[in-house]
Structure 1
Amino acid sequence: MKILIKALAKSKGTQWQVRLDQDAITFRSEAEARAFADTLQNRIQAPHRFPQGQQRATG
């Protein structure tokens, strides 16, 4: 998943956008945007386990 952070120029100040592939989420500050992106990246990289009945067969 590609995660991008960019500033959006607005007449009432700068907002920040985090783009996840084709989806976008807007934040009021760069710090909020970066915190969201960091949390998302950590969750993506965390080990995941499938429930017993849904484990993938290997081999």
Structure 2
Amino acid sequence: MFATNDSRAVRFCEEKGVKVLNLKDVLRKIAIDGLLDMGEMLELIRDIESEDRTYIVGIDDILRGYE
């Protein structure tokens, strides 16, 4: 099992038959299950982007988990 935010790594894992989780999917599941409220999720996303110097694509999709 591998978790990543890198779309090329996701494709590589899929080609090699390695189970992979995309960070966006993990965050959306957290939202759907209500493990964090929306404010906490936004803070987590900000922290991940800041600390890892990355950009999370699909934040709107993640936040739709709160609907």
Larger Rg: 1
Normalized per residue, which structure has more strand?
A: 1
Instruction: Verify same fold: TM over 0.5.
Output: no
TM-score bin (small chain): under 0.3
